[in-house]
Amino acid sequence: MLRGALLTTVLALMVPGVAQAYGWPVKPFDRMHAIRGTLDDPRFHVAPNLTWKGSFHFGVDIAAPDGTAVYAVEPGLVVRGPDSVDLRRPNRRGFAYWHIRPVVKTGTHVRMHQLLGYILPGWGHVHFAETVAGRYRNPLRHGALTPFRELNTPVVDAISVVRIEDHALQAEGADVSGTVALIADAYELPSIEPAPPWNRARLVPSVVRWRLIPGNGDPPSAWHTVADFRYRLWPASLYASVYAPGTYQNKANRPGDYRFWLTQSLDTTSLANGTYWIDVQAANLAGAFGENTLAITVAN
C-alpha cells in the first residue's frame, strides 16, 4: 500500500509539459532510434587553467553510423556552422543538429524532412537539441520527439555515506555522527541498445529524490528532490551541487557513472540516536521508478 502511494506521488510529479510533436532527424522518421546521451547528463572539458570542469549536456545524442543523413524535423531558417546546423522558427522555437557536415547554407529556408547534412567521421551520432525562446528544452519530454518510449526502469545502484574533509571524500560506516554527506549512484538503460562500442551506455534518470525514514516508526521526512531533468537544461553553476565526485559520462566500451549528491550536509546531531533508512528513488519520464534503501545508525 505504501509503495502504491509512492508511485501515485511520483506519477503526479511526472505530469508532462505541453509540446508540439515532431519526428526523428534520421530515417525512418516515425521509428524510435537508439540514444546514448540525454539532456543534463554530465559532460567534462578542460578549462584554460587546465582544470577539469563539468557541464550539463544540452541535448540528446542519437546513435547512428558515420555518414548517416540528417534531416530537419521542422521547417526553419538555417544558420550554418562548421559542423552544425541551427534551424530557427518564427514561433521562437529552434532546433540544432551537431557533428554533421552541413549541405545547406545560412539564410536558406528549409522544409520539414529536408536534408541538412551527414554525420561526420568518428562521431557515430547526431547531437540534437531544441530551444524555446532561447532556452534548451528536453526533446524527450512527452509530446516532443515522437515516437519515444522508455522501456527500462531506472536503477538506484548504491547509496553511500561520506564525510567531506579538506575537499576530499572519506567513506563512512553504518554508524554515523556529526555532519555527513549522502551520495546515490543511479542510472537507466536505453530502450534500444546502441551499436558497439556504445552498447554499454547508461542514461541519467529524469528525477532523483530521497527521504529519511526513522526506524522507530515515526513518520518519514518529506521527499527532497535533488535532480529534475524532465523539461529543461540546468545552469552550469549547479553542476557541482548535483553530481558528486567520481561521476563520468559514457565513453566507448565504458558505461557512464552518475553519482548524485543527496545532501552534502546532513547534521545528525539534529536527529535522535537510533536507526534510520535512507530511501532513494530514481524515476524516468514515464513515471516508472527504481528504489533502494540504506540503513544507518545515528550515534552522537
Question: Which CATH number characterizes residue 14's domain?
Answer: 2.70.70.10
145 lies in some domain: no
174 lies in some domain: yes
The 3-state DSSP composition of the chain as helix, strand, coil percent (nearest 5) reads: 5, 45, 50
pLDDT of residue 45: 61
pLDDT of residue 12: 41
pLDDT of residue 48: 61
Q: Which helix (H) or strand (E) holds 8?
A: helix 2-13
Cα–Cα separations (whole angstroms), residue 213 to 82, 203, 272, 282:
53, 28, 12, 17
Low-confidence stretches of the chain (pLDDT beneath 50): 1-18
168 lies in some domain: yes
What is the pTM assigned to this prediction? 0.90
Of the chain, the end-to-end C-alpha distance in Å amounts to 34
pLDDT of residue 19: 59
**Same domain (yes/no): 214, 126:** no
pLDDT of residue 15: 40
Q: How many CB atoms lie within 10 A of CB 20?
A: 12
Question: How many domains in the chain?
Answer: 2
For residue 171, the SS3 value is strand
**Same domain (yes/no): 115, 183:** no
The candidate with the shortest Cα–Cα distance to 19, out of 145, 117, 124, 201, is: 145
Q: Which of 79, 107, 137 is the last residue in one of the domains?
A: 137
Q: Alpha-carbon distance 218 to 239, whole Å?
A: 34
pLDDT of residue 234: 97
The three cell numbers of residue 21 are 510533436
**Same domain (yes/no): 96, 230:** no
Q: How many CB atoms lie within 10 A of CB 109?
A: 11
Q: Alpha-carbon distance 117 to 106, whole Å?
A: 13
**Same domain (yes/no): 166, 132:** no
**Same domain (yes/no): 166, 293:** yes
**Same domain (yes/no): 243, 113:** no
Q: Which of 137, 168, 188 is the last residue in one of the domains?
A: 137
| Contact predicate 135/232, CB 8 Å | yes
Residue 47 dihedral angles phi and psi, to the nearest 5°: -75, 165
**Same domain (yes/no): 122, 193:** no
Q: Alpha-carbon distance 285 to 153, whole Å?
A: 10
**Same domain (yes/no): 261, 171:** yes
275 lies in some domain: yes
Q: Alpha-carbon distance 84 to 103, whole Å?
A: 10
112 lies in some domain: yes
9 lies in some domain: yes
**Same domain (yes/no): 274, 161:** yes
**Same domain (yes/no): 98, 171:** no
**Same domain (yes/no): 82, 29:** yes
pLDDT of residue 44: 75
Distance, C-alpha 184 to centroid of its chain: 14
292 bridge partner residues: 280
DSSP string across 54-116: EEE--SEEEE--TT-EEE-SS-EEEEE-SSEEEEE-TTSEEEEEESEEE-S-TT-EE-TT-EE
pLDDT of residue 1: 36
Q: How many CB atoms lie within 10 A of CB 1?
A: 5
Q: Alpha-carbon distance 44 to 220, whole Å?
A: 37
146 lies in some domain: no
Q: Alpha-carbon distance 168 to 171, whole Å?
A: 10
The candidate with the shortest Cα–Cα distance to 81, out of 62, 65, 101, is: 101
275 bridge partner residues: 297
Residue 268 dihedral angles phi and psi, to the nearest 5°: -70, -15
pLDDT of residue 178: 95
Structural domain containing residue 235: 155-298
Question: Which CATH number characterizes residue 190's domain?
Answer: 2.60.40
**Same domain (yes/no): 122, 177:** no
